[in-house]
Structure 1
Amino acid sequence: MLREVQEFCRDHHWMKGIYEFLQAWGPQKLESMRGCPVKSYAMLVSCLNGWRARVSSIPVELITKGRLLRLSCRDIQVEMESKLVGIRKDILEQIQNECRSRGQQLITELTDFTKAFRTINADIHALTWCSQKLNEANERYTELEERMEYTRSLCELVRNHFGVFSAENEALDISLPHTWESFQREKSQASGFLLSKRHAIAPKLQRLTAAALAELEGLIGKALSGPFMDPAQEQRSTESQLISLERQFQNTASGLSELHHAYTTFTGTEGPAPSIATLGCPLPLRSGLGLRDLHLG
């Protein structure tokens, strides 16, 4: 009888490893897998499937010769099978949630890029915005592509290893590659358009910058000469005129900053920014000169 029990235990010693895994499993273990390589999910699911098959093959009971001992395995079998099914279900739910959240977030980001590329026109504001988004897209391209491939791999994992796929995830699996293709196409077209306009944009910006600097110099010269330097002038009138000059100066100065930003965006150079200090004036430089008049055909 003892020999029969020992032999049974040796034949089913593998159950110990599974049982220890099940006892150690919990929400924290599942959460720690979030964002892990897809193959790690696949390996775990394969293990769970194999373990469940082995556990289900355990004899319901062992009755020794002479019927001296009856060893029931039913309770442990039911408990282990239930936990294995529950873990598999939890993993499926987490993967599906990952597919949805990652896919929706990526689609939102790609759509934002695509909208910027599609709104490109000859207006300098649109060109600058599009150029900024294009630079960002180029810098993040590898990251975006990896996220897209990872999300699609998660969706494929659900389809191949669980045999279930919700309508929402099915729609996402179709929408994501379509959005990615649109992003790539619009990115390429925007890049070509900006490249064709660059030869006209840079000189135009340089001319506008020179005009803005000349205007600032003129305003400084005006403020430091004529009636403004005459103490005999009526104070209130002089102060009002100076305030008006200051507004005009600040508007032109902020426009100069925007022109410099546009130039560095298009050319990719980081030359010294034009500053009021170079004009011998301590006033700060802010952003926004009237670029609304700059249009390129």
Structure 2
Amino acid sequence: MRTQGLHIQILAAPSILGLRTNGVQYLAAALLKAGLGRQLQPEHPVQHLATLNALYSDKRDPDTHCLNPVPLRDFSIELGKAVNLLLDKDRFPLVLGGDCSILLGIMSGLKARGKYGLIFIDAHADFYEPEKSVTGEVADMDLAIVTGRGPDILTNINNAKPYVQDDHVIHIGQRDWEETKKYGSQDIRETNIIRYDLENIDREGIEQVTAAAIADLDPGLDGYWMHFDTDVLADELNPAVEYHLPGGLDFEQSEYFISQLLRTGRIIGFDVTIFNPRFDTTGQIAQNISNTIVRAFRSS
């Protein structure tokens, strides 16, 4: 069916090449089991993209300082093709990860078809340089990579570097300032990336921040992709994530922001990342996340 004018097509892309193999690969299955697809009632069956997770290595590549750069590049190429195929069919891709490195495939694919922006909802800046990253996980440097910072094998897929310009990125919900300072991350405050961190949201309210973000949308772009990392949610509501930080959004704030951005008609696709079902023993967190996304789409 069309949900408020959207031909939603769910694409399961559970890659963990940018993180680790301890549970995030089950995100799609858990949210679908919780009723995400059934409640949205997409007219098209869920598509499943083959991963290269079997090639995962926990050894950092000596040239790039990243984990799994070659399989990650190869997977990203296929994911970009899959997203573009859905868009060519006038469908709204709802991509279920996986870790945040799925953005490399999504944004490099979009660069091949036009000029797009990115709404980046995440507790973390994800802006590390590979050599500064403690782990080498591309999931902690994905925003840096899609904006052109990092090794060419990941930043220049299909000669498309950068996949998105700094001033076409809107970052929502960051709360890892102290951690990024401690570990020497690049600082997104020194770029043209538009930012509304958790402090902004707590001080001004989600309604005002949402209105400001909508005003920031560039009418000259072909549209925006929306990235929803579930670690933006408060830990007490969603402890089923890999890295924990105090504070965070609640489900109602997340639903409001997503629904209002969808209402603009400028969002052309949406992804969900990082939720780890292994830390959700009752399935209630998956149910809450699924319900939040469904309500946001239905009220948009």
Q: Could you say which structure has the higher helix fraction?
A: 1
Normalised to the residue count of structure 1, the TM-score between the two structures is 0.21
Query: Which has the bigger relative contact order, CA under 8 A and spacing at least 6?
Result: 2
Q: Could you say which structure has the higher strand fraction?
A: 2
**Structure number with bigger Rg:** 1
Normalised to the residue count of structure 2, the TM-score between the two structures is 0.21
